[in-house]
Each structure stands twice: as structure tokens, then as C-alpha cells.
Amino acid sequence: GAVVSQHPSRVICKSGTSVKIECRSLDFQATTMFWYRQFPKKSLMLMATSNEGSKATYEQGVEKDKFLINHASLTLSTLTVTSAHPEDSSFYICSARGRDGRHPYEQYFGPGTRLTVT
């Protein structure tokens, strides 16, 4: 299967600061990347869909100015949480979908990033 990495795996930051999370597809080119947020013992909530070279599409209720998504290349998407607050503390997971047609539907998930805002 394809490999997706995320960095950092864990981050603690102070309220008001910004945090950048990277999502990389290591052995395939990802035309589409998705960002999810997961609260403890809850399901994955889609935040935004990111297509390479174009603006991300945000889900209803997700503030695009707070959660900045950049998908500058076919192997990298970043999520920046700006002016983080304690309520932004969560588990953020990205996933990537390939372009070569071998797995046109399947999403490959990153290992997640645990963000704690103090």
C-alpha cells in the first residue's frame, strides 16, 4: 500500500500561536488530500479537501482563515492552525488519494498529529 506521513506527531503550543502540520505522500503522487479532525472517542470529521494547485474546499462550519491549507505539490499538503486556542486541541489526520488509477477510490491515512494548546 501507499505511505502517508505526518509531521509532527505531537505538538504542544501556547494559546495565540500558530502551528503548521505537514502531510506527505511518500511513494505516490496525491492529487487530492483531505484533512480530518478527531475528538476523543469520536468519528473523523472532514475539515477540508485539498487539490494540488488550487484552493482548498472547506466544510461548513470550518473557518478557512483559522485553518489554512496549502497543497503546493503532489506530495505535500500543510495545515496551519492560526492563533490557536485550547478548543483547537484535537487529533488532526490527513489522508491522500493517488492519481495513477491503481486505487482510484482508496484513501491512505497519515498517522495523525496530536495538538495540545495550553
Partner 1 sequence: GENVEQHPSTLSVQEGDSAVIKCTYSDSASNYFPWYKQELGKRPQLIIDIRSNVGEKKDQRIAVTLNKTAKHFSLHITETQPEDSAVYFCAASRNSGYALNFGKGTSLLVTP
Q: How many CB atoms lie within 10 A of CB 86?
A: 9
Grid cell listed for 107:
484513501
Q: How many CB atoms lie within 10 A of CB 76?
A: 16
Does the footprint of partner 1 cover residue 106 (CB under 8 A)?
Answer: yes
Grid cell listed for 28:
505516490
| CB of 26 vs partner 1, minimal distance in Å | 14
Of 11, 13, 29, 32, the one binding partner 1 (CB under 8 A) is: 32
- Please give the single-letter amino acid code of residue 63: E
The backbone torsions φ and ψ at residue 70, rounded to the nearest 5 degrees and listed phi first, read: -130, 130
| CB of 62 vs partner 1, minimal distance in Å | 12
How many helices (H) and strands (E) the chain has is answered by 0, 11
Contact characters 38-67, partner 1, x per CB under 8 A: ---xxxxxx--x-x----------------
When the beta carbons of 15 and 37 are compared against partner 1, the nearer one is 37
Binding positions for partner 1, rule: CB under 8 A: 31-32, 34, 41-46, 49, 51, 91, 93, 95, 97, 104-107, 109-112, 114
